[in-house]
Structure 1
Amino acid sequence: MIHFTIAAAFIAVVAVNGDGGPVCHTCSNVASLEACTDQINCDADEECYMEKTLDNVLSTSFTFGCQKTKVCSMLSAGSGAVIGRKRNVRTVPGTRAKRAVTLCSQCCSGNLCAKGLCVGGSTTGVPAKNEVYVQLLGGSNAYEGTVLVYFNNAWGTICDDNWTNTDAGVICKMLGYSDVGAGAVGQARFGYFSSGRIWLEDVACTGNETSIAQCQESSWGITDCSHREDAGVLCTSVSKEDDVIFLADTGRGGKVTRMNLLTGSFVDIPVNKNYAVGSFDYDSVEGRIYFVEPRLDQLVSVHFDGTDIRELKQLSTNADLEKLEVDPVNRILFYTDTGNDVIGSINLDGSNFQIVINSNLDEPREIAVDPRSKQIYWTDWGKSPKIERSNYDGTERQTLITTGIMWPNGMAIDYNDNKLYFVDGGTHLLEVMDMDGGNRHTVMKDAGAHFFAIDVFKNYLFYTDWNQQTLMRVNKDGSGKTAVGPPSFRELADIRIHEYGLDVQAPSPSSHVTLDPKHVFVRMLGTASAGRVDVYANGEWGSICDDHWDNKDASVVCSMLGYNRENALATSSVKVSSGTGLIYMDEVNCTGTETHIVQCGFTEDNWAKSDCTHQEDAGITCELPQTPDNFLIFTDVYSGHLFRMDMESFSFTAIPQPSSPNPVALTYDDVTKQVFYSEVVPNPGSQIRSVGIDGSGVKVVKQLSNGTVPDGLAVDAAAAKLFYTDAGSDVIAWTSLDGTGQTVIAHDKLDQPRGIVLDTANQVVFWTDWGQTPKIESADYSGANRKTIVSTGIQLPNGLAIDLKAGRLYFCDAGTHQIEAVDLDGGNRKVIYQDNSAHFYGLALSDKYIFYSDWNKSGLMKINRDGTGNAMAGPPGFSRINALAAYQVQA
């Protein structure tokens, strides 16, 4: 039998004996504290001691006694108490700076101080726990990853020997997901960990277990595997987000963690690497997380699976964003800004931004909203600390508390009991009061805590303590303090708990639909007209089983991809490479009239429920309409592919062509149905190629010389001219559609020309130049009448798009991080959209949207024509999107 031990200073002191030392329990190998009735008088320099032993089947025994008090080595002998003002400012996410905590707090938070060194004496610690937890690491979304198991105070992996879907289902249940359709993967598919233990191998679950610790397995820590055999899981992304704790850890660079409230197991939500979360809230109506990005001075939202990131508002550079909270009923977000000392609000769709409170604020931090009364509550920990409230519009402002507080930080409303709970990092108190400030009293005092955030769930208060590595929990009466989950965090700056459908009482917002067609897409892998069908839902790709897969089903998928419904064919056992993820759909039953495949009889109950293998993956054969319409095309540089995306469903398929090492520019000729694109290879020379929109007739249109960089393309089919920018030779030129001939229309004072568009009616060409003297210019097709349209306030102008009806030119700038519009003569210039985290590149227009590519995002982006409603068009997962074009048949 293998034994593991955990030793800790024991918190249960029975009494103090005549020599000044504690009276402690003394027993060996008993099942619990209650089973230990013997006591011992410890010396004055001793403390109570506990040692916990776990065997390989998780049976627990305890040994109790006395041990010498450990004195923090950083406290010099005879120096007396080391008391200091702790820093009450959270770490800025993404920085490496450490929080300055007094030596006394560092020591006492671990129960290791000699008596008398800290005010109030040694703090009450948290006893060692014997739970087993799991987390996922390395996945591209919150539903997959290598499994890490926390056991005996250490993280380790699982060997993939005999690792099955049933075993994976137990892991998924521990994370709060459905076990239906769970997939087991091995061979360290999501990355292996060269250090750390391998806790388990030959796991044998029945599927009825609630924890991996209940499954039959070999002895803990006994294995002949290597980390290259680490086991992973694929959990279905279509699961109710029920009983979920969301945490923000600024000490780990602003990571957001999704923890199962019932088990303490968790997984990080992989928010785009360019963003760090300072504070956040969860909107259950749309399933989105709204957060402040304190480095970029932005209000941002992201789907809870980590996809579809959107900038809600770019604030001024002197902003210092602290906290936010969402009203899911009235669809408003409120936030605090300590840089400008204001409280602001904005609708969740990005409209109606306003400053609500802008006076008598010093360090506003927490914000809480009551949708029932439309009132906001906030804490202010400045020179005159206080807790206040007002109406949503800032009227009827009232101060609730001004005494007995130092650093009021977190605050939460208990909607059931109509109480307001708050924590103070300076007084070390957790308190409660009525909504009007009356009946105030202390729930708990912890002299070693640095309280920061708090939330309410049923009869519990969950809070964060910067001196603990875990989330903490206490009963509403102040009893039962305990750690939640394993010690895996550094500086928990925010916590939000979501109970399905019960975020706010009277009225209660409905939770989001996990099979919302707006977040489910399809793709076809194969040729231009046939291939395997994959389905994307909430962060994951999966396939379709071909059981009862028929032409009606195929017609729905073909229409989503922009093909004809007519003549759609269902194919079985597709010979394209088999899928590797989950099988999402089985027994599809479409009538053929649906606009989306999820309308063909699918709910959370039968999603990913299948008895098929990937040898039965379903496919389709489709045909393009005579006049393709409403589609986007774009280049993906690192994958070397061209893609065509339907502008309604945002589902897509690749345009088959020899994989290009560096596809950059592209344009579409609606007369010949040809896509022209550039392959930029300065040595031995770039090429301009063409391919049919259906993937036919791939050919080299023009071979360019060494050093050429064709960054932009535009076609005038009526004039039979193909224009291009060349940032290598610094010219603007055109060639015939078959590549014969070449006419340079501009070469003087060009540095790095890139984007290019045409006014075909007036035969005028426009281009951007991002060189040392950045500018946007125009000239006739002949090169005559060359004009500078924009020359100020730009840095790296890249993509161009033209609205001929409105007579407007749109451009995006990777240096100013803006999308702007001007008249064709340069007048009436206006900023449409700004995102300080973006590296804008390509730009395209439809009648509804402005589409753009951002090198810092993994998907195609869109905004409304007025600059609102930033969102990802379709799923993420592309490498780097360069140029793009939109095509619609004009009415």
Structure 2
Amino acid sequence: CEGTESTLTKCQASPWGESSCSHGKYASVVCSGSAVSSFAPIRLVDGPGHCAGRVEVFHKEKWGTVCDDSWDFADAKVVCRQLDCGVVISAPRRAYFGEGQGPIWLDDVHCMGTEAALSECRAKTWGIHGCEHGEDASVVCSGSSEVLRLVNSPHRCAGRVEVFHNQQWGTICDDGWDLKDAAVVCRQLGCGTAVSAPGSSGFGQGSGPIWLDGVSCLGTEATLAECSFKPWGHHACNHVEDASVVCSGSGIASSPRLRLAGGLSKCAGRVEVFYNNEWGTICDDGWDPKDATVVCRQLGCGVALSAPGLARFGWGAGPIWLDDVSCTGEETDFFQCQAKTWGIHNCHHGEDAGVVCAGNSSSANLRLVNGPDRCAGRVEVLHDRQWGTICDDGWDLNDAAVVCQQLGCGRATAAPGRARFGQGTGHIWLDDVGCSGSEETLAQCRARPWGQSNCNHGEDASVICSG
């Protein structure tokens, strides 16, 4: 029938009495006017809302579960439609929302995806199965509350990853956690692409159960539930290892968990890391150029020139978060490097680690003025679009050597103070400059923060280069 005919006799059919059917194939009809429904009632339970959870069907006056043998998106699609819960998001197996009780009513369900109810789909006879409740099928529909969330961040698209299972939110262990796993989380939450996949509780330690460990996604899955992982709740982790994600939808260009402080440019300074909502330093025990290489690469600062310790860029404040850092130099994320547990150390801030990266070696922000030629004169630096001078406190030949090298003026022959080439005007930008002499630019040297000095222009520093 087309469905528009006024009587059954107007539909196409085999000639009267001709069929290849047995009596077990009698057709039936249930009309709305009969007040009888042929659809077995269904529900989703133990999820965060009525549109996500373990699938249960009502048969013979009892609620029971569905075995996950051959359970797929087409089956889940029918469940979502029957419950008026929108489109299917995922069809988790393995008792994703906990094990049910009572009978396992259905097994080997095979829906086309167009059926109006789950009980219309092909399946084994009611109650016939070879399953246990550890194989209970589940569904997540678009109309459900999220079963996945990112927390402890100002934006919903960055933070510690938490999953909802067995009526409780819990975390994911960072063992094997990488950008492929993060990509699936970002996709599932509608947060764009994955920017980073921080481990080591980068967005703070969670509480409650650690639900997942050994997560291994291909990166193409629509939901985290489709990835492989250890059984729910099986792990050898603690909350220090909670996994996190930063997605492009957060507006965070890169994970804001690493910075250089106390230097004159963004590419040289004391290394500081953000953990548990607080910036802290790194102890220099074992700190070497391999560690510095990873830091410089991650910050977009080129190659590492040196890895100074002993608080070369001043003593930090707050916690010393990391000690005994050991990078291979090949890591793409500094937090992939080995180190002691967060906050465990035997150091003080006099051992804060630093790095000097190549960064921008332009000489356009440095000049010598009031001298006989371009390679001798009062030192001036460009900062905040204004030229200013340098105080001569601690100014010596090591500092002058860096200036001469940066300007392509040979070696330093003198480092006069006391405004030898006249007093400047405007800002005194730098004070207590302390170069080792090996730096490529003045910005890589240690100094007080920009604009902080206890000097006047009678103390302006100068340089005389061999030229």
Same fold (TM over 0.5): no
Structure showing greater Rg: 2
Name the TM-score class by shorter chain: 0.3 to 0.5
Name the TM-score, length of structure 1 as normaliser.
0.20
Task: Determine which structure has greater relative contact order: mean sequence separation of CA pairs < 8 Å that are 6+ residues apart, divided by chain length.
Answer: 2
